[in-house]
Amino acid sequence: MNPKIAKADEEVQKLISKKRNKSVEDRRVGSEIFDKQTLETLYKLANQGYINILNGAISTGKEANVLKGVIDDSYVAVKIYRIATSDFKKMQYYIQGDPRFNIRSNNKRKLITSWVNKEFRNLKRALEAGVNVPKPIVALNNVLILEFIGSNDGNPSQTVKNQKPKDVDDFLNKLLLEMKKFINEANLIHGDLSTFNILNHNENPVIIDVSQSVVRDHPIANELLVRDVKNVYGEFKKLGSSYSLDEIVNKLEIDINLD
């Protein structure tokens, strides 16, 4: 196991046993990996039965770490937003145009909590529209727990960026069906759709990373939609797809101005 994650898990376990033993004399939880609130949040989630232990890093990104959590004999994905490195300007901008979140806060923690809730709600909405996304399990403060996409023995599925589909056109065709539901039935625009945010799960696409996704009547929705469609076209073309941009737009059954 990655030593940093082993250390993080050790810290969470220590906190759990400390609280269980009610030894209140040391409430100062020193963490080298997470800030105190994150550690407390993980502790709460463990105590509520969402995770037993943290077992390894899946990804360390710009703004979030995704860890593997173990619960009984299965896995979950634990996405932890780092307070210090989050892009608050972007968060504010995306949240302000969203009628579901009527907050105008400069409080960083509150903003991250809204951001995490937004990702949770977007996933739920996509799932209800039948889109292949990880099922959201729980959101608390800066932590989001999701269905783990991978093998039963704990190997996470890779992004399309890292694992090229065997049959690119067939994969793209499946992806377009997922995108069509995402756009036309969930009424959401992803906003950061690329081969980094699509998992290749046994040659089936799973769309992830929907925190920035916006409702279709958001002021920037059209701009984001055009960007997403062009990205998907360009990246899959590089992978060897034979689809034209027009064919993609037709398959999505959307009406957009690409100029």
Ligand X SMILES: Nc1ncnc2c1ncn2[C@@H]1O[C@H](COP(=O)(O)OP(=O)(O)OP(=O)(O)O)[C@@H](O)[C@H]1O
Q: Give min distance, CB of 187 to ligand X, in A.
A: 21
Q: Take residue 26 and report the two structure tokens written for it.
A: 């040391």
Q: Is 63 in the site for ligand X (CB under 6 A)?
A: yes
Which region among 126-134, 150-158, 179-187, 202-210 touches Mg ion (by CB under 5 A)? 202-210
Q: Take residue 89 and report the two structure tokens written for it.
A: 């300007």
Which region among 25-33, 42-50, 62-70, 108-116 touches ligand X (by CB under 6 A)? 62-70
> Is the Cβ of residue 109 or residue 135 nearer to ligand X in the bound state?
135
Q: Give min distance, CB of 149 to Mg ion, in A.
A: 13
Residues annotated as part of the active site:
192, 209
Contact flags string 205-224 toward Mg ion, x per CB under 5 A: ----x---------------
Q: Take residue 167 and report the two structure tokens written for it.
A: 């049959």
Q: Give the one entry of ligand X, Mg ion, none that residue 58 binds, where binding means its C-beta sits below a cut-off of 5 to 8 angstroms depending on kind.
A: ligand X
Q: Give the one entry of ligand X, Mg ion, none that residue 146 binds, where binding means its C-beta sits below a cut-off of 5 to 8 angstroms depending on kind.
A: ligand X
4-39 b/e (C-beta count within 10 Å ≥ 16 → b): ebeebbebbebbbebbeeeeeeeeebebebbeeebb
Count of residues near ligand X by CB under 6 A = 20
Q: Is 197 in the site for ligand X (CB under 6 A)?
A: yes
Touching ligand X, residues 146-175 (CB under 6 A): 146-150, 156, 159
Long-range contacts of 108-112 (CB under 8 A, 24+ apart): 108/83, 109/37, 109/83, 109/141, 109/142, 112/81, 112/83, 112/86, 112/141, 112/142
Q: Take residue 104 and report the two structure tokens written for it.
A: 């105008």
Q: Is 38 in the site for Mg ion (CB under 5 A)?
A: no
How far is 125 from 136, CA to CA, in rounded Å? 10
How far is 233 from 242, CA to CA, in rounded Å? 10
- Which residues in this chain contact ligand X in the complex, by CB under 6 A? 58-59, 61-64, 66, 77, 79, 134, 146-150, 156, 159, 197, 208-209
